[in-house]
Amino acid sequence: MLRYLGHRLLQILVLLFVFITLTYFILQAMPGDFTSIYASNPQMTPEMIANLQARFGLNESVWVQYVRFLRNIVTGDLGVSFSEYPRPVWDIIKERLPRTFVLFFSANIISFYIGFWLGKWSAWYKGRAADKVLVTGSISLITAFYPLVAFMALWVFSYHLGWLPLNNFVDPILWSNAPLSSMQVFGYIIYAAVVTTALLILVSLLLRKKGVAGAKSRWIPPIVLGLALLSAVALFQRSGLLIYVFDILYHLLLPLFVLTFIRIGSSLLLTRDAVLAVTQEDYVLAARARGLAPAVIRNRYLARNAIHPVVTSLALSLGESFSGGVVTETLFSWPGIGLTLLRASLGGDYPLAVGAFIITGIFLLLGHVAADIATACLDPRLRDSIGR
């Protein structure tokens, strides 16, 4: 297993190098550079632009810039942004990554969870009215024009009904005297989520190891989850942060809802297809013949075997969670990595663009490794082949 992981990590490094190089040169190939924004300023003489280019090292050849850039990367320095000179690239990414992560990661998890259950259910009742509604709905969601859906949601829920905030992730009036920055509070939210998840995994593993099964154990994970959440709330309350956490969560609702809603379709259809593919297998027929309860057949025999492509897809999209999405970030004024990437690329801010690409690239590649490991854990045949 370790050898396999090592091998995969090596692959990632090589891929990352190729990725960085390609990204760097594609960005450099774009006409103009960062100083192009000054071209329409009559007060900027060419000498002034040349001074600025010298400051950003743009007066050197692309190769010299590339080598210097690579040298910095190896030493863990992503450089400084041109557009926010002299702010370090890592500082900008560090500020925006938690926001992106909280929104997109949650949306992915929730949409997969709901999509998986609905897909399983839809496949089981294939051909019935409910199945037809779900399939039609899913296809509609996949083909829907996302910016329009998002804007309609904003218009209905925020502008017209006034239930949810119109945009952004905090309320300025509440936050104008907040003791911490929103970035720190995002950090705490992620921290609480990670601890809760770790706890849940630990409990599940323990339950499995101790051989506790059946109806008795079914309630343990939800109880653990409830307790973990309650303690988080208590902790936030004690530190006086609860109101700020709630404010962020309140602002999160609409983008999360829209993003989840739009993504459910694909995971539903994926699960449905995967379940349908295994429905015809002999072992399912045998299970039915043995007179097992439909829920058991559905959950143990079908879902477990159909989960393979779903988990792969989930792991990959979790990796993608770190790259954000331009449309969501723009419409809901949720500034994250997606928009940073777009603006830096278009504005010729190479260090920031490449830095953001590297970070998202790393997460994407890690997502691939996670997908491999997850499928290996779920499928003993693969586990054996990896173990060797």
Contact present, 24 and 67 (Cβ < 8 Å): no
Total count of residues recorded for the chain: 388
Of residues 85-144, those binding another protein (CB under 8 A): 85-87, 95-96, 99
Should residue 80 be labelled a site residue for another protein when binding is judged by CB under 8 A? yes
* Number of residues engaging another protein in binding (CB under 8 A): 54
**Most distant CA pair in the chain: distance in Å?**
85
Closer residue to another protein (CB): 110 or 327: 327
The answer to whether the Cα torsion of 88, 92, 98, 100 is positive or negative is negative
**Residue 62 structure tokens:** 């692309």
CB 155 to another protein: min, Å: 7
Rule CB under 8 A: choose which of 1, 133, 152, 183 binds another protein: 183
Pick the stretch among 104-112, 124-132, 151-159, 291-299 that binds another protein (CB under 8 A). 151-159
Of residues 302-331, those binding another protein (CB under 8 A): 329-331
Should residue 217 be labelled a site residue for another protein when binding is judged by CB under 8 A? no
CB 319 to another protein: min, Å: 23
The answer to whether the Cα torsion of 299, 300, 301, 302 is positive or negative is positive
Contact present, 14 and 37 (Cβ < 8 Å): no
Should residue 166 be labelled a site residue for another protein when binding is judged by CB under 8 A? yes
Rule CB under 8 A: choose which of 143, 177, 216, 219 binds another protein: 177
Alpha-carbon span 163 to 190, nearest angstrom:
26
SS3 content of the chain, % helix, strand, coil (to 5): 80, 0, 20
Should residue 47 be labelled a site residue for another protein when binding is judged by CB under 8 A? yes
Of residues 333-372, those binding another protein (CB under 8 A): 333-335, 339
Alpha-carbon span 248 to 343, nearest angstrom:
25
Pick the stretch among 137-145, 157-165, 296-304, 356-364 that binds another protein (CB under 8 A). 157-165
